[in-house]
Chain A
Amino acid sequence: MTPFTTLTAPAIPLRLANVDTDQLLPGRFLRKPRSDGYDNYLFHDIRRGRDGTLRADFPLNDPCYADAPILVADRNFGGGSSREGAVYALVDRGIRAVIAPSFGDIFYSNATKNGLLPIRLPIDIVERIWAIAEADPSAPLTIDLAAQTVRLANAEPVRFEIDAFQRACLLEGRDDIDLTLAHADAISSFETSDRASRRWRAPSA
């Protein structure tokens, strides 16, 4: 996956709470092959009105934010279904980071495995970013993953927390299966001792 180190770019303000993964990627697109690209499915239904045309009041439809790679939303972003396609849709649209007060756990994990950085920041910071991005859609944010900071315009950098393991994987663009296979001996010895001590665990029909 693409490593994430630093990013200085404008943000899309999305004043919505509980943006679940069904809204990010409606279920009927889950059967689409990834090779086709998922960007056209991102927010497919909520970015359109009842007549099917694109809503002018939806920030991702606003040409001002067409190239902005940072999405800033309200609490509980990416809750619900475990569909990793929701992350593919964001990544294929060019989104590199999502900032929100809280995230669905599975979405958060899926994001980190696809080079998409999820950043938890308190609502008062999120509101400041919304205000800046709405006033000037080209105003850049600077995200520094190694330093774990987000800097708004000329303000002081704000620190965010991220698990050290997930940070390292993102910084290096590393596939964690390779890392796990370095522990192959430990897995095998666990497998053997567990089989001996709890033999009923093996499914036998």
Chain B
Amino acid sequence: MDQSRRSGVETPLRCGYCPTMITPTTLFEKIWRQHRIVERDDGQTLLWIDRHLCHEGSFHAFDKLARSGRPVRRPDLTFAFADHYVPTRDRSAGARDPEIATMIRLLGENTARHGVRLFGLGDPDQGIVHVVAPELGLTQPGLTLVCGDSHTSTHGAFGALAFGIGASEVSHVLATQSLWQKRPRTLRVTVDGRLGPHVSAKDLILAVIARIGADGAAGHVVEYAGEAIRALPMEARMTVCNMTIEAGGRAGLIAPDDTTFDWLHGRRYAPKGADWDAAVADWRGLVSDTGASFDREVRLDGASIAPTVTWGTSPENAVPVTDRVPDPEAEGDPGRRATLAAAVDYMGLIPGMPITDITVDRVFIGSCTNARIEDLRIAAGVLKGRRATVPTMVVPGSSAVKRQAETEGLDRVFIDAGAEWLESGCSMCAATNGDMVAPGQRCASTTNRNFRGRQGPGARTHLMSPAMAAAAAVTGRITDVRLLGETA
């Protein structure tokens, strides 16, 4: 069980048959090798962690650290964000619920005690951790980045190895700035061609999840490649990597390119001057080499992806908006039939009904999946000059996104359409701050999880893109945004 090898010095992988040839290497492998501190005979590797992001939910981990009496090893690499519990309406008095207020207060106390930089309630850069850390330039290519939140996979959009961890592991990283990991397998998802009009990154990733299943990428790091991925702006790449966890993936990765570097340049924590040049030179090598082999490969045609929505209680229950609710009776396997029937029942749907016949009670535009400025521009583009016919909440991903949207006049578009324009936080996606969908209500949501009760006990969630959610707000039912001009 003793360590077999230490690695601080990198040696290129060489081919076993012809030692002068360097073996083509995946992007994942390059980052993994750069962060290996100790590798044991049993395959467990102690990885160095470059960035550790915390939020209110990290209190269990801080409690564990306090019980052990250990300090935070690298507070300068640790950053905290108040997002899961912050109120989205009146903030002047803080959170009204005393338990929720305690969560926000504890984060302040724990970070102050250990000298960790906090972007708390009232900070001009407060917002959802997976929106703000990239915005500030904390997320960079080639880094290892962890957070006690499963949507940490988001940061892989920059070519960082980023994944969610539980409270025990958060405590471990706080104490040691490292983490034991077993090498994951690799899966490459290649999306050829171009996405059609009004088809977004959200539709793309829902189509991937429907194809491989909610556990289809379990144990794998997923690298996204192909023409359709390369054409995506950073916000859309983050949406794709964000939902990798909904396919069970350990992490999502997209090789950094000029789109990445242009987006990062000049951000607060991004390298400056000569460091920037050295960084970009290094980052350009962060690609999977031609001929690098993956444990699995999946290929999709981007042009064939339609606006996609979920009908059921797992993100794998995603279908094109032109499709119908499945009929469980048509499923041959009894176990799968029972699962489908339970989902149809929970969602209050009729087997075989067209997806566009599903009416919604409310619309939520927000979350770490789809509340960046690009998402709000798209939603506002659909809502401009139209009225929402059901209650609609718009919750920006960060306070900076909110300011930017207001500078562009997007807030006026939402307000004129009758939508609520709110303060930044996780809000109705995690439903931990008290923003909830009422029991039995149906919500068209730009979030990431349609699990039973995710948005509140008895809540029914349909996942979709910001454009599709905005279209649903206008018509009060699930609507193919491509046809909205003709129907509304």
Contact = CB atoms under 8 A, between A and B. Distances in A.
A74 B338 CA distance: 12
A56 interface: no
A109 B278 CA distance: 36
Interface in B335-368: 335-336, 338-339, 342
Interface string A27-48: 1101110100000000001100
Nearest to A103: B218
A80 B172 contact: no
Contacts of B178: 180, 187
Interface stretch (B108-116, B162-170, B295-303, B407-415): B162-170
A166 to B, nearest CB: 8
A168 interface: yes
A204 interface: yes
Interface residues of A, number: 63
Contact of B140 (A75, A186, A201): A201
Given A30-B57, A80-B451, A164-B44, 7 more contacts: A74-B339, A76-B248, A85-B167, A164-B1, A181-B176, A187-B37, A205-B268
A189 B99 CA distance: 43
B269 A110 contact: no
A181 B169 CA distance: 14
A141 to B, nearest CB: 20
B315 to A, nearest CB: 9
Interface residues of B, number: 88
Interface stretch (A17-25, A64-72, A132-140, A148-156): A17-25
Interface stretch (A4-12, A89-97, A192-200): A192-200
B182 A163 contact: yes
A106 B37 contact: no
Contacts of A75: 215
B176 A15 contact: no
A177 B250 contact: no
Interface of B: 1, 3, 6, 8-9, 34, 37-38, 40, 42-44, 46, 48, 50-51, 57, 60, 63, 68, 70, 76-77, 79, 85, 99-100, 102-103, 138, 140, 142-143, 148-150, 164-169, 171-172, 175-178, 180, 182, 213-215, 218-219, 245-246, 248, 250, 268-269, 271-272, 275-276, 278-279, 282, 313-314, 316, 335-336, 338-339, 342, 430-432, 439-440, 449, 451-454, 457-458
Contacts of A22: 449, 451-454
Contacts of B46: 180, 183, 186-187
A187 B278 contact: no
Given A20-B451, A31-B103, A113 B169 contact: yes
